[in-house]
Amino acid sequence: MDDLDRRLINRLQRGLPLVRQPWRQLAEELHSHPGELLDRLHALLEDDVLTRFGPMFDIEQLGGAFTLAALAVPEPRFYAVAAQLNALAQVAHNYRRDHRWNMWFVLACASEAELAATLSRIEALTGLAVLNLPKEQTYHVGVYFPV
């Protein structure tokens, strides 16, 4: 990673300019060319320096629903249950926690009805009770990690 990669990553953390040609404006800011910046972004993603680049949508504003949920999975079944969850399109991601509720996951659904049906489906698939932890309040926290 060179200086331009670092400056590009740092700048992208503040978002794309909301103009007709954002990559042209970024190129001017970073003293580069739009094509070079896009090539570098693709290389950073391909090399797993960056794991994701894209918009963040407020699913509730779009009419959808989401929740944080957890399962208390017996250790011998942990990876099998993780595979069951990962096979569901509604599961955004899951992760292990060192706690009785050891598998946490986020569900993103098109509606509240689909969310309820998906929670019921997970209970039926796994035979485990789901701890549903819906959002009570939204907090907007800006995070910036200078590279």
* CATH code 3.30.70.3460 region(s) in the chain: 65-133
Task: Determine the pLDDT at residue 133.
Answer: 96
Task: Determine the pLDDT at residue 59.
Answer: 78
| CATH code of domain 65-133 | 3.30.70.3460
CB within 8 A of 120, min separation 6: which ones? none
User: Across-strand partners of 13?
Assistant: none
Going by C-alpha positions, the residue among 121, 129, 116 that lies closest to residue 74 is: 129
pLDDT digit string, tens, across residues 78-124:
999 999 999 999 998 889 999 999 999 999 999 999 999 999 999 99
Global pTM reads: 0.66
pLDDT digit string, tens, across residues 26-41:
999 999 999 999 999 9
